[in-house]
Amino acid sequence: MTKRYCYHCQTQHPEEEMRLMVTKTGKRWRCIKSIEATKKSQAEREAFGKRVSEINKAEASSKAKQLNQNSNNS
C-alpha cells in the first residue's frame, strides 16, 4: 500500500484517501477528509484543525517517548 504525505494535515495517508490538488506553488497531495472539511462552516473547520493538531502532537509525543526509552535501554 502506497502512502502519500498530506500537506494540509501533515500526515501520511493511503493513496486511495488522497487527491492531487493544484496550488499556486504546484501540485500537492491532500486527503479527502481535509478537502471535505473545507466545505463546512468556519467553526467546524477550526474544530477539525484542532483535532488534527492534537492527533499530530500525540503521535509526536509517543514517538519521542519511544525514542527516549530505546536510548535509555541501550
Q: Mean pLDDT in the chain?
A: 89
User: How many whole angstroms separate alpha carbon 70 and alpha carbon 74?
Assistant: 6
Assessment of whether the complete model's pTM goes beyond 0.75? no
Cβ atoms of 13 and 34 closer than 8 Å: no
How many domains in the chain?
1
The pLDDT of residue 74 is above 70: no
Higher pLDDT, 43 or 45: 43
The pLDDT of residue 30 is above 90: yes
Which pLDDT does position 26 carry in this prediction? 93
**Residue-range definition of the domain harbouring residue 15:** 3-73
User: How many whole angstroms separate alpha carbon 47 and alpha carbon 41?
Assistant: 10
